[in-house]
Structure 1
Amino acid sequence: MGFWQTVKADMKAATGHSRLGRLPTVFLFNPPFAAVFLHRVAAHLYRSRLRRLGIAIWGWNVTRTSCHINLEAEIGPGLLLPHPAAIVIGSGVRIGTNVTIYQSVTLGRVASSPIYPAVEDGAVLYTGAVVIGPVTIGRSATIGASSVVIKDVPDGGVVVGNPGRVIRIATPTDALTAQAAARP
């Protein structure tokens, strides 16, 4: 997917519409979209000849939003950060499409492994969740608030606690309902 198609998907996730003509207004008045958009621009420039400009925009975004998304993280379209404050996403993290991440979530590695987490399509990570190490969060999984995840989570898994444990596997209907509730 190209840059502008990804931006349209992010805008649709944050606002419910995807017309690029609305981009300036949405950027100015929608902090969840602005944080993701600035990351997309910075990462795009970082991978081009304008690497230093990308780093400058990244730094401005971190200062502006308190949201630290590493420029080398792989993030699919439709990312929604309803409250982008204090989110940390490490360099090797892979995030699928239509993922929702709430405030104060950390996605990082552990000292004993250089491998970062992978978050598959449609997952929702609630406030304060910590996902660290070589783990995979399955499609449409839900990570509860303040959970610490150090093991793989199956598709549709609902995880709570510290350490995180799967309390149930959601049905496809449950996953769609949870995802719809997480989106505007």
Structure 2
Amino acid sequence: MGFWQVVKADMKAAIGRDRLSRLPVVVLFNPSFAAVFLHRVAAHLYHTRLRRLGIAIWCWNVTRTSCHINLDSQIGPGLFLPHPAAVVIGSGVRIGANVTIYQSVTLGRVEASPIYPTVEDGAVLYTNAVLIGPITVGAGATIGAAAVVLKDVPPGGVVVGNPGRIIRIAPPADALSAQEAARP
């Protein structure tokens, strides 16, 4: 996916699916979109000959938004940070498409392992969640506020508590639509 397609997906995530009339306001004033857009620009420049300019934009973005997203993290399109303050995303983190991350979420590694967390498509990470180490958060999973996740979360799983425990596993979206189609 090209740079501008990813930015367009980020805009749609920040605007909502049907509120195109808000586009100018979002682009100019929304801190959520600004944090993600400036990160995308900085990361793009960082991986070209303009590395120092990318680092300068990254530093300005961190200072401006208090959102620390490492330039070596891999982030899919449609990232939505409703409140980007104090979000920390480490260098090896992989995030899928259409993920929502609320304020004060940390994704990092433990000293014993060089591997960072992977967050799959459509996951939602609520306020103050901490995901540490070589774990995978499955597609469509929900991590509750202040949960500390140290183990893998299955797709559709809901995790709460410290240490995080799975309290529910929702069926995949295609299974739900198949069940609804089978009803008379």
- Normalising by the residue count of structure 1, what TM-score does the alignment of the two structures yield? 0.90
Distance in structure 1 (CA, Å) of the matches to 2:141 and 2:19: 29
| 2:53 maps to 1:53 | yes
1:91–1:169 Cα change, 3 Å: same
How far apart are residue 17 of structure 1 and its match? 5.8
1:76–1:40 Cα change, 3 Å: same
| Match in the other structure for 1:167 | 167
- How many pairs align? 174
- Identity, in percent, stands at 82
RMSD: 2.0
1:18–1:91 Cα change, 3 Å: farther
| Match in the other structure for 2:101 | 101
| Match in the other structure for 1:118 | 118
Larger RCO: 1 or 2 (CA < 8 Å, sep 6+): 1
SS in 2 for 1:167: strand
How far apart are residue 16 of structure 1 and its match? 2.4
| Match in the other structure for 2:127 | 127
1:35–1:139 Cα change, 3 Å: same
SS in 2 for 1:80: coil
Deviation string for 1:45-81 (max 9, x for gaps)?
0001100000000000000000000000000000000
Structure 1 residue ranges, 4+ long, deviating more than 3 angstroms after superposition: 17-20, 22-25
2:15·2:23 contact (CA, 8 Å) conserved in 1?
Answer: no
- Normalising by the residue count of structure 2, what TM-score does the alignment of the two structures yield? 0.90
Amino acid at match of 1:128: N
SS in 2 for 1:28: helix
How far apart are residue 132 of structure 1 and its match? 0.3
Q: Which runs of 5+ in 1 are unaligned?
A: 177-184
